[in-house]
Amino acid sequence: AKHFYSIYVKMSRRGKEFNEIFDLTGLRVLVDSVKDCYGAVGIIHSVWKPIPGRFKDYIAMPKFNMYQSLHTTVIGPAGRPLEIQIRSTDMHRTAEYGIAAHWRYKEGGRGNDSFDERLAWLRQMLEWQTELKDPREFMEALKIDLFEDEQELSALVFRAEASGALIVGGGISKHHVIWWNQFRGGLDYAVYMTTAAEYDGSLSGAQVREAISWGKVREDAWQVNVEGDATITLPIMVASIIERIK
């Protein structure tokens, strides 16, 4: 069943009344193959009457994040709408943990509890971002969940042979780490994250190339611009850095 808060958010965003929400209760069916997915839909529609206009084929036309599934809403028991999702085991893994998990299993990666826990945490974070409309509320929830990890990250490195920076929008600041690195020629790498495209001139601050001329970044430094939502890209990059350090 859908959570009360999720129902409220859906009603508010779509301007719908309570009786216009058809997915209050749902059923998920996991099968072995794509062929079985369509076969299951046929069986379901023969048992319960489908509601017109409520069938969606995300297998033939996957979402941008590679999500695949068949969605249908039927008149279920007691005459109440029932949303049913039908997908294969591979589709379910991608839907729950993302495309990274999909390729990990495809390439024969062994089970790793730590990796699976991080994927589950990332999925929870994405759900928070969807449900929490106020970005300040989302960041507060994220800070609480990250508190122990922040303490752990600060204790991971005591000596480094290279140094870099993850810059989230704006200019490349000159805090104590970047300031001291100027004495050794600048940063060895820099990742600049922004929600704007570079080509149209709408970046919110100085780019990495400009920081090279100021001595903040080495001329031969590895650098890249990442365009996307920093609340998603930053945690992924930090998790990758922690994994490399360990």
Residue pair 119/97 in contact (Cβ under 8 Å)? The answer is yes
Give the CA angle between residues 165, 97, 84 to the nearest 5°.
Answer: 145
Integer Rg of the chain from CA: 23
Query: Quick check: 94 pLDDT over 50?
Result: yes
Residue where a domain terminates, one of 74, 91, 108:
91
- Would you say residue 150 lies in a domain? no
Residue pair 216/232 in contact (Cβ under 8 Å)? The answer is no
- Would you say residue 71 lies in a domain? yes
Residue where a domain terminates, one of 91, 120, 153:
91
- Would you say residue 207 lies in a domain? yes
- Would you say residue 63 lies in a domain? yes
Give the domain extent around 182: 161-245
- Would you say residue 29 lies in a domain? yes
The number of domains in the chain is 2
Give the per-residue pLDDT at 186: 78
- Would you say residue 214 lies in a domain? yes
Cα 124 to chain center, whole Å? 9
Give the per-residue pLDDT at 131: 58
Residue where a domain terminates, one of 71, 91, 111:
91
The mean pLDDT value of the chain amounts to 71
- Would you say residue 213 lies in a domain? yes
- Would you say residue 75 lies in a domain? yes
> Model's pTM, two decimal places?
0.41
Quote the CA–CA distance of 154 and 221 in Å, as a whole number.
Answer: 24
Q: Which of 75-79, 86-90, 138-142 has the lowest mean pLDDT?
A: 138-142
Domain holding 56: CATH number? 3.30.460.10
